[in-house]
Structure 1
Amino acid sequence: MKINWGTSIVIAFALFMTFILYFVIKVQSDSKYNNDLVVEEYYKHDVHFGDEMVRIQNAHDLVQKPIITANSSGITIVFPETFSPEKVKGTVSLYRPSNKKLDFEVPISLSNPTLLIPKTNLVGGRWDINMEWKYAGKAYLTKEVIYIQ
């Protein structure tokens, strides 16, 4: 039986579509591949984007900014000495891009200008840190990416 070029093209397209469909079905059905959204309620989060930009600008306009560093004991956040530690309130959200189950939040409650997030709570790799905090009635948002080894 002789196959002409038109039949060969149809067979090639059918094989290619089968190949693509196999991988789409495999990724959708296998729990190893996580297809979750970064933010659960994306559109509700997007409505408040303007407020978020104002808080980021407030943090950017500070003369002395909080310093976020990774060290051997964990993640250290040092607020400026000019701030009264008791008046700083908010939360530090640690977001792990590779695994949503590792995400957690730490409330900001200070007696001195330093907040330590222990390394026992952190696995190695990239962490996105969103620190939402208020001082003297003004809201701030500080975003940082830290790599833990």
Structure 2
Amino acid sequence: MSTENKTFTLWPYAIIAAIVLFAGYIIFFVVKAMNQDVDLVSKDYYAQEIAYQDHINKLGRTIAVGEVGITYNQEGKTILLQLPEGYKDQKIYGQIEFFRPSDDALDFKMPLQPGRDLSQLIQADTLQPGRWKVRVNFSANNETFYAEKALTIE
């Protein structure tokens, strides 16, 4: 008769449990990823593509006439918008959009009202400090134009 001392070990059960838990973890994330709604193409893709081409055309027209200057004066807390001389003696209509990437509640628009020297001075003392994008959409002689510049208000 053999009197072998058999000891009970948990290692095989722990390895099997680890494999089962890992497989369950992978299956959970695969199921979750498969149920994720991914819309890469919008329903009005064609209209958006045409609008994007219009945006590119606006940028091209703006560059052809001259660059729109948007500068921030930290001491005076002002933003100077300067249209190029190519727009002299033209009726200019448009708007200036102040876009805050970090907080859309701070976004606002104002009318574009350039003076005789084709400039507009905007008081920036009410703007929250941080990064702003100033977007200018305007039209002159039945053509539309666009300019954008990122500013850091301190």
What TM-score comes out, normalization by structure 1 length?
A: 0.68
Match of 1:53 in 2: 56
Aligned counterpart in structure 1 of residue 128 of structure 2, from 123, 128, 131: 123
Within a 5 Å distance, the mapping from 1:69-108 to structure 2 comes to: 69-72=71-74, 73-84=77-88, 87-108=91-112
Cα separation, 2, equivalents of 1:123 and 1:100: 12
Instruction: Tell me what 1:114 maps to.
Output: 119
- The AA in structure 2 aligned to 1:65 is E
Report the aligned-residue RMSD.
3.0
Shift of 1:86: 6.5
| Paired letter, 1:107 | P
Change (3 A) 1:104 1:46: farther
Alignment partner, residue 139 of structure 2 = 134
For residues 52 and 7 of structure 1, do their structure 2 counterparts lie closer, same or farther at Cα, with a shift above 3 Å needed? same
Deviation at 1:120, TM superposition (A): 2.6
**In 1: Cα distance, 2:20 partner to 2:126 partner:** 55
Please, which runs of 5 or more residues in structure 1 have no aligned partner?
Answer: 22-41
Residues 86 and 111, structure 1, Cα contact 8 Å, conserved in 2: no
User: Matched residues in 2 for 1:12 and 1:70: separation?
Assistant: 56
Q: Deviation digits for residues 22-79 of structure 1, max 9, x if unmatched?
A: xxxxxxxxxxxxxxxxxxxx866555111111111111212x3221111122221111
The whole-number CA distance in structure 2 between the counterparts of 1:123 and 1:129 is 14
User: What is the SS of the residue equivalent to 2:146?
Assistant: strand
- 1:56 & 1:79 partners in 2: Cα distance? 14
* Alpha-carbon offset, residue 95 of structure 1: 0.9
**Equivalent residue number for residue 5 of structure 1:** 15
What is the letter of the counterpart of residue 90 of structure 1?
G
Answer with 1 or 2: which has the greater Rg: 2
Is the 1:59–1:65 Cα contact (8 Å) retained in structure 2?
yes
